[in-house]
Chains A and B, each alone.
Chain A
C-alpha cells in the first residue's frame, strides 16, 4: 500500500498527540478547565480519526515517522484498517464518556478531578497510539504508556482495596510488558525488522522451536490486557475504579488494546505461514475456549454488578481472541467486528451500572429488585445491550458472533463453534435476570425492605450517554450502511493477511 505522508499522516499524528497534550494541559491549568480541555480534545481527536476513514477505505495507509529510536527503528505511526477501527472506537466513545464523566463526577462528589481527567486523556491518547502504531516498538511504547496512564485511575479512590488492585494491575501489566519486550528484542535480532506486515514476517524464522518460544512470549505480553485466563485476575479487581473508568477503559480501551495486540501478533507478526504446524497456536485456541467456559460460570455467581460485568468482559474478550487464534479469514473478520460491537454493548452496561450506583448507591444485583420501575430508561438501555451481547439478530452483537461462528466452521473447529454458541446463550443467564428482577420483581420476600425508596431516574448527564450507546448497539446491528462499512474494513484486513504477501 502506498504510504501517504503529509496531510493524512499529520492527522494521524494529531489524533495521538491531541489527547496526550490535553492531559498535560489539564495538569498545569486551573482546575475548572479540566473538563473543558477534555471536551475539546475529545472532539479534536475523533474528528482527526474520522477524517482518516475515507482515505483508509480507499486503500491509503497514512504514515508519519515521529522519532528515530534506535538505528534502523523509528517511532512510527501507520494507519491501516485494523488500526482505524480501534482508533475510531476509542476516540468516538471518549466523547460520550467525557459527558458521562462530568455527570458522574458531580453525582459522586469526585475528588482530584484534574488528575482524573488528565489520566483519562492520556489513556485515550495512548490507546490511539496503540491503534496507530506502525511497528512493534512503537506499539510497545504506547502499550506500556497505556498501563501507566490508567494506573492513577485504578487507584483513584485511594482506599486500601484500590491500592491493592493497583499494585496487582501494575504487576500483571508491566510484568507481561517485560515478556513482550523480550519477544520484540528477540524478533529484532532474528529478523532485523519490527514493522507490522499483513500476513506476518516471522515465516523467515526457520526453527519451529524458536517460533513457538516467540509465540509464547508475545502472547504472554498481550494476554494480560486481553484477560485470558489465568492472567485475567486484575480485571475484576480493577472494578474498584470509578465507573466511567471501568466503562471506557476496562471495557473498551485497555482490554481492546489487548485483543488488538493479539490480532496484530497473530496476523501482522505471525501469520498463516508462520503459524503452520505450531502446536502453540492450538494451545491459544484452547486457552481462549477455556476462558469462555470458566468465565461464564464465574460470572453467573457474582452478585456485585460490576464484577459480573467484568467477568462477562473476560468471556467476550476471549471470543475475540478465539477468532484471531483460529487463523481463518472469517474468524479475523468476526474478531474485528466483535471488538467494536462488544465494546458498544459493554460500555452501555457499565454506564447503566454507574448510573445506578450514582443514583442509589447500590452495587449488588440482589438489591436491584423492582428498580426498573423507577429507572425505566436506564434499565431499558441495559436490556438492549444485554440482548445485544447475547447475540439477538438486529443488535450489534449478532454480526460479530455470526462471523466468528463461520470462522470456526472455516477452521474446522467444531468444539470452538459449540463453545461460542453455548456461551452466547449462556450470557443470557447472567445478564437477563438482572433486567427481569428490575422490571418484574415479583412478590417481595417476607421482611425485606425496599432498598431504593424515593429514587428517580438517573440525571441527564448520565442518562443521555447510555441511551446514545444503546442506540449505537441497535444501529450497528441493523443499519446496513454501518454494517457494510464495518465489514469492508474488516474484509480488507483479512484479504491482506490471508491472501496477500506470504
Chain B
C-alpha cells in the first residue's frame, strides 16, 4: 500500500469543476462547456496515471485529513478501482464531448446547470470507485444520484415524472443501503472497509446477514437489478438524449462495482456463501437476463429498448458475481467494461437519431439508411458486441460467465444465458434490419449529424473492437490480478 494524494486529486477535479461551472457559467457565456470538457479530459488523464501507478506500485491509499485508518475516512484504489476510474472517466469524457451539440440543441440556455450536474455525477461515480469507507460510499452514491435525478428531469414531456419515480425509488434504495451499513456498524463498530473485513468474521452473524441483504437490496435498486428496475426504462427513455448517453453506460455499472467491492472485499467469499446472498444475486441476475431480454424484444421505443437491454446486461454481471468463481468474476468485470462501451455508443447514436432525424421508435431507424454510414457502422459494432459475436468485447464477458456456470453445473443459469442471447439476437437485428435494409424515406436531412457525436461513437466502437481483440492480454494483465479471492 502506497500513500498518495492522487486519489483525492482525481476526485477533486470534477467536483471542483462542478462548482466552478455553477459559478462562472452564469457570467461567461459558453464557459460551462469549456470547463466541463477540460475537466473531463483532466480526469481521464489522471485516471490513466492512477492506473499506471497502481500497476507498478500496488494499491494507493489516501487517509483524508491525515486521520489514520480506521479512525478516518480512507481512499483506497486497488487494481479493480483503478480500472473503474479509467472506465468511468474515459466513457464520460467521450459521451460528454460527443453530445456537446446535442446539449445546445435540447437544452438551450440551461447548459450551465447541465454541465454542473454532469460533473457532479462524474465526481460521485469516481468517489464510489476510490473510497475505502462504507459511509463515504453512501455519500458519493447520493451526490451522483441527486445530480442524476436532476439530469433526467430536464428532458421533455413526461421527464419530470420519470425523474420523480427515479428519485423516490432511488432514494429508498440508498436508504436501504444506509440501513445495511448501520447493521454492519452495529455488528463490527467500524466503517472502514479493510477493518470491516477483519472484524466481520467474528461479529454476530445475524446482524451481518441482515446488513448484507439490505446492502444488496439498496445497491440492487441503484443498478436496476430485476425486480428493482422499475425506475429505469422511463428515465432513460425520457431524459435528454445527451444526459441518457452520459448516464446509461455508467451509473448502473458503478453501482454493480460497488456491490462487488462491498461483498467481496468486506465480507469475503466464504462468509457470503453461508449467508445465501450469492445465491440470491445469481438468481436475480438470471431472472434479469431473461426478463430484460424479453421486454426489450417487444419494445417499440428505441431508448426504452436499450434500457431493458441494460437491465439484461446487469443481470449477466450479477450472475457472474453470484457464481463467485474466477471465471464468473472475470466475466462480470469484463461485462461491466464492455457494456459501458456498448451502451455509450448506442445511446449516443440514439441521440443522433433523435435530434438529427427525429427517430424515437426502432421502426423509424430506416431514416438513417444511406445517410449515416459512420453512425450505422458504430451501431453495428455495438449491436454485434451486444449479441456476443466474437471477437468483439461483448463475447468474452458472456463466455466467461457461461464457463463459470458450466463449471458449477448450474443448468438453469446456462439456459438463462442462452435465452438472453436469443433475445438479444432478436432486438439487435431488428435495429440492424431497419437501419440497413428497410426502404429509406424520400426526404431526409442531409449530412450525418454532429461530427463530434459521430466521432465519439466511432472512438467508443473502436474501443469495443480493441477490448475484444486484446481481450486475452487485458484479462491476464489487468483483470485477473484485480479480482478478489474467490474459488477455482
Chain A residues in contact with chain B, CB under 8 A?
67-71, 75, 137, 140-141, 144-145, 148, 152, 155, 158, 163, 166-167, 170-171, 174-175, 178-179, 181-182, 185-186, 188-189
B429 in contact with A167 (CB, 8 Å): yes
B: interface residue count bin: 20 to 34
Q: A68-B473, A148-B384, A155-B437 are in contact. Are A185 and B402 (CB under 8 A)?
A: yes
On chain B, the residues within 8 Å of A179 by CB distance are: 418
Q: A140-B390, A167-B429 are in contact. Are A152 and B437 (CB under 8 A)?
A: yes
B391 in contact with A69 (CB, 8 Å): yes
For the complex, is B407 an interface residue (Cβ under 8 Å from A)?
Answer: yes
Separation of A69 and B392 alpha carbons in the complex (Å): 10
User: What's the nearest-Cβ distance from chain B to residue A141, in Å?
Assistant: 4
B406 in contact with A144 (CB, 8 Å): no
Most buried by B among A71, A152, A178: A178
B406 in contact with A69 (CB, 8 Å): no
User: What's the nearest-Cβ distance from chain A to residue B77, in Å?
Assistant: 25
Separation of A304 and B478 alpha carbons in the complex (Å): 58
Q: Which residue of B lies closest to A137 (CB)?
A: B390
Separation of A185 and B406 alpha carbons in the complex (Å): 7
B390 in contact with A174 (CB, 8 Å): no
Task: Kindly list 9 other residue pairs between chains A and B, CB separation below 8 angstroms, not including A75-B391, A166-B433.
Answer: A67-B469, A144-B390, A148-B389, A158-B437, A174-B387, A178-B418, A182-B418, A185-B402, A189-B327
A182 in contact with B414 (CB, 8 Å): yes
On chain A, the residues within 8 Å of B451 by CB distance are: none
For the complex, is B421 an interface residue (Cβ under 8 Å from A)?
Answer: yes
User: What's the nearest-Cβ distance from chain A to residue B319, in Å?
Assistant: 14
Separation of A69 and B469 alpha carbons in the complex (Å): 7
Separation of A226 and B15 alpha carbons in the complex (Å): 59
Separation of A178 and B387 alpha carbons in the complex (Å): 10
For the complex, is B227 an interface residue (Cβ under 8 Å from A)?
Answer: no
Chain B residues in contact with chain A, CB under 8 A?
327, 384, 387-391, 396, 399-400, 402-403, 406-407, 414, 418, 421-422, 425-426, 429, 433, 436-439, 469, 471-473, 475-476, 480
B interface, over-half SS = helix
On chain A, the residues within 8 Å of B407 by CB distance are: 189
Separation of A75 and B388 alpha carbons in the complex (Å): 16
Separation of A148 and B426 alpha carbons in the complex (Å): 13
Separation of A175 and B396 alpha carbons in the complex (Å): 18
Q: Pick the contact of A185: B384, B399, B433, B475 (CB < 8 A).
A: B399
Q: Which residue of B lies closest to A173 (CB)?
A: B425
User: What's the nearest-Cβ distance from chain B to residue A499, in Å?
Assistant: 33
On chain B, the residues within 8 Å of A170 by CB distance are: 425, 429
Q: A69-B472, A189-B406 are in contact. Are A175 and B422 (CB under 8 A)?
A: yes
Q: Which residue of A lies closest to B384 (CB)?
A: A148
On chain A, the residues within 8 Å of B437 by CB distance are: 152, 155, 158, 163, 166
B472 in contact with A175 (CB, 8 Å): no
On chain A, the residues within 8 Å of B414 by CB distance are: 182
Separation of A182 and B422 alpha carbons in the complex (Å): 13
B402 in contact with A67 (CB, 8 Å): no
Separation of A167 and B480 alpha carbons in the complex (Å): 39
B429 in contact with A67 (CB, 8 Å): no
User: What's the nearest-Cβ distance from chain B to residue A126, in Å?
Assistant: 12
Q: Pick the contact of A141: B391, B421, B436, B473 (CB < 8 A).
A: B391
Can you report 27 A-B residue pairs in the complex whose CB atoms are below 8 A from each other?
A67-B391, A67-B472, A69-B471, A69-B472, A70-B400, A70-B471, A71-B475, A137-B390, A141-B391, A144-B389, A145-B389, A148-B384, A152-B437, A158-B439, A166-B433, A166-B437, A170-B425, A174-B387, A174-B422, A175-B422, A178-B418, A178-B421, A179-B418, A181-B402, A182-B414, A185-B399, A185-B402
Separation of A174 and B399 alpha carbons in the complex (Å): 16
Separation of A171 and B437 alpha carbons in the complex (Å): 17
